[in-house]
């Protein structure tokens, strides 16, 4: 490529220099040395600027060529549009997958054109049923817009199949639940003590399976809605807190645990949230603490941080704690802390509670974190901006 450039530049230089050289030769032969020096200087400056311009032009071409090669090898479809929605550039994946060509005016993507710099993420479905995750952002001060299309059709199909299968399984388990409940109520006849104990265990296990399915369905729904289909209103978080903690007092007493509720000493301002979903977050964290604590206490508190302008909810327990090698996966889907040497059937679950809680908190612009040491207990907190 470099060799070709110098050959082209050399011939261009010869062709453009023929006339100035003829004039210089004339001045030299006729003895006009002043004109010869002036003309020679002008020709020298011209030739120097010519060479530099060719070098810069070649460098830009090489750079553009490399960029085009990189973009063409992307597995996602990439389009660059102008303000009117006309395609300036399209990689090979976009031409094949979206059926577009450079120069086309895409009316359906006109809404994607942004006047100002920014980033936007959206899920779209094309006419052929293909589902894409579309990321768009503007460059060159809004003069051009880049659209990146990531095909998520296979993932969506898998989620739909899982959702359908889960719903069908839930229907069957619900039927089993009510059958067991009817037998346990002895409507069909009196039961012996041993029979009743076995049926009680079956009922409890079935109930836990239904709860796990409900968690899975909530997870799928949350992802489908991209955590944006929330009903956010100005709410009193203090009232939500008081209502939620009251649901767990009896359960803590039954386990012989101290259930400490810190007194709220300062006024906590209202904030815009989805009330039901924040209740789920609080319930999940308290539920986990009670599950993994056999003795000692569970403490909950709600505070307002004026400096950071955020409301903070925390649950602290004296439970089994989380081993250090498992902590980085604590908010991932289906993950459950290893329960070695922890003999409690109550800890059985779906492994979705913390995953769902994190998604909800993040959707509210908040943060979630924890501190834990194996055998010493854990402290989980989340914040909500005011």
Domain over 233-385 is classified CATH 2.30.40.10: no
Higher pLDDT, 241 or 146: 241
Question: Per-residue pLDDT for 240 more than 80?
Answer: yes
Q: Which two tokens stand for residue 361?
A: 């908190």
Average pLDDT over residues 133-144: 67
**Looking at the whole model, is its pTM more than 0.75?**
no
Share of the chain above pLDDT 70, in %: 60
77-151 under CATH 3.50.50.60, yes or no: no
pLDDT exceeds 90 at position 234: yes
Domain range summary for the chain, segments of one domain joined by +: 2-72, 77-151, 154-224, 233-385
pLDDT at 55 over 70: no
Of 383 and 214, the one with more pLDDT: 383
Q: What is the pLDDT of residues 326-366, one digit of tens each?
A: 888 888 876 777 655 454 545 555 567 888 899 889 888 89
C-beta contacts of 74-78 below 8 A and 24+ residues apart: 76/148, 76/149, 76/150, 76/151, 77/132, 77/148, 77/149, 77/151, 78/146, 78/147, 78/148, 78/149
Mean pLDDT of the chain: 75
Neighbouring C-alpha atoms within 13 Å toward the C-beta of 190 = 2
Lowest-pLDDT choice from 129-133, 208-212, 327-331, 377-381: 129-133
Domains 77-151 and 233-385 share a fold: no
Model pLDDT for residues 8-44, shown as the tens digit of each residue: 555 555 545 555 555 555 555 665 555 545 555 555 5
Higher pLDDT, residue 244 or 53: 244
């Amino acid at each position: 490529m470099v060799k070709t450039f110098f050959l082209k530049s050399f011939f261009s230089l010869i062709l453009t220099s023929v006339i100035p050289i003829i004039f210089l030769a004339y001045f030299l032969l006729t003895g006009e040395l002043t004109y010869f020096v002036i003309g020679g200087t002008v020709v020298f400056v011209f030739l120097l600027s010519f060479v530099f311009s060719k070098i810069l032009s070649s460098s830009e071409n090489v750079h553009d060529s490399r960029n085009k090669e990189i973009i063409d090898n992307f597995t996602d479809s990439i389009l660059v549009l102008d303000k009117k929605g006309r395609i300036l550039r399209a990689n090979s994946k976009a031409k094949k997958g979206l059926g577009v060509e450079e120069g086309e005016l895409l009316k359906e993507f006109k809404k994607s054109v942004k006047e100002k710099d920014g980033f936007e993420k959206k899920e779209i479905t094309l006419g052929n049923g293909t589902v894409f995750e579309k990321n768009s952002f503007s460059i060159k001060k809004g003069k051009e817009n880049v659209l990146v299309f990531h095909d998520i059709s296979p993932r969506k199909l898998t989620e739909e199949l899982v959702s359908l299968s889960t719903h069908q399984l839930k229907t069957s388990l619900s039927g089993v639940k009510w059958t067991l409940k009817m037998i346990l109520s002895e409507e069909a006849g009196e039961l012996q003590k041993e029979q009743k104990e076995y049926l009680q265990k079956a009922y409890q296990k079935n109930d836990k399976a239904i709860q796990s399915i409900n968690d899975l369905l909530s997870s799928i729904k949350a992802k489908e809605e991209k955590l944006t289909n929330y009903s956010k209103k100005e709410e009193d978080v203090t009232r939500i807190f008081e209502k939620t903690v009251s649901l767990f007092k009896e359960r803590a007493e039954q386990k012989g645990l101290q259930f400490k509720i810190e007194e709220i000493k300062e006024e906590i301002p209202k904030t815009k949230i989805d009330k039901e979903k924040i209740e789920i977050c609080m319930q999940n964290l308290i539920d986990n603490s009670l599950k993994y604590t056999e003795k000692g206490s569970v403490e909950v508190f709600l505070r307002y941080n004026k400096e950071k302008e955020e409301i903070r909810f925390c649950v602290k327990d004296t439970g089994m704690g989380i081993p250090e090698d498992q902590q980085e996966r604590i908010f991932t889907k289906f993950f459950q802390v290893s329960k070695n040497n922890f003999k409690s059937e109550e800890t059985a679950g779906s492994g979705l509670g913390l995953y769902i809680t994190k998604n909800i908190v993040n959707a509210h612009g908040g943060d979630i974190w924890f501190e834990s040491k194996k055998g010493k207990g854990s402290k989980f907190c989340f914040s909500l901006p005011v």
